[in-house]
Copies of this chain bind each other. A is one copy, B any other.
């Protein structure tokens, strides 16, 4: 077995062919389509070895062979070639982004649309949590009785609001005072985040105001920490019908059901935040419903820190080169857009 190189060349050819055709690949196909200079009989022997090694699977005795998840994994690790998208595509993307100046979530969602359009796969995007940003300004607006609207404005110019229900009635004057106090203490809100942490400064408020403050601060903390505003959007859910591996109704249904579960998607994309990009192939996905799919993700950033994830979902037989490239390019564009439109400083 001094010639492993040839084996992998054959495997590589099989993977490429199968990704393109979707049909089990036979030894004669390889012999004819790829000039490896060896006969189909030799290829058969090698294929038999590759099957023993776990790289190929024979759906049934008289069919060709298809790559296993392990084969795709090797392909992605060894052979995959990441490139930049055509300049005229990225230019168009930038143009579309420009329309969403400041509206970050809209730009992120647009990214999903573009991804589906250029790859014909389902795409998933996660909008960033407010926790990724630094608070510049806090406002409390009185709605009525005990209801208060909390507005957080970040240094980057993002706005997030949420309604709070306090335990008792408040009035506008009280809220104004508390608002001013909070804005004076903004640094503390970010770091300490507890009433106790305000120290002596709190003396500026009277007892009843302090009581309200004690309710407001945990609410802010909650909104900042509970991934509030982090949401997953999907586009092109029905694209999977294009692929023969999902012609089976039950399979398609199963997958679609899974993709409608917000929490599942949320966990999926959130866990991908730690890596620059990730490729999960078939059974590498923990959820059983996704074992026939590959999920590619990439993160977009603000000031170098990942704040969200964009992803593509398709059958394991997918064009990894193009998809990973497209995903990376889009993540890069989105990152650029964010830093230019929000002028991040913190």
Contacts and interface: CB of A to CB of B under 8 A. Distances in A.
Interface of A: 102-103, 137, 139, 141, 143-144, 147, 149, 151, 153, 157, 159, 161, 163, 165, 237-238, 241, 247, 249, 252-253, 256-257, 260
Contacts of A257: 238
Contacts of A260: 237-238
A151 B141 contact: yes
Contact of A256 (B157, B159, B237): B237
Contacts of A157: 143-144, 147
Contacts of A237: 256, 260
A325 B161 CA distance: 38
A182 to B, nearest CB: 15
A147 B249 contact: no
Each complex incorporates copies of this chain amounting to: 2
A159 B149 contact: yes
Nearest to A155: B144
A253 B249 CA distance: 11
A252 to B, nearest CB: 8
- Pick from A143, A153, A159, A247 the residue with the most CB of B within 10 Å: A143
A185 B151 CA distance: 25
Given A237-B256, A238-B253, A249-B247, A149 B151 contact: yes
25 contacts: A102-B147, A102-B163, A102-B165, A103-B163, A139-B141, A141-B141, A143-B153, A143-B159, A144-B153, A144-B157, A147-B157, A149-B151, A149-B159, A149-B161, A159-B163, A161-B161, A237-B256, A237-B260, A238-B256, A238-B257, A238-B260, A241-B249, A247-B249, A249-B252, A256-B256
A290 to B, nearest CB: 16
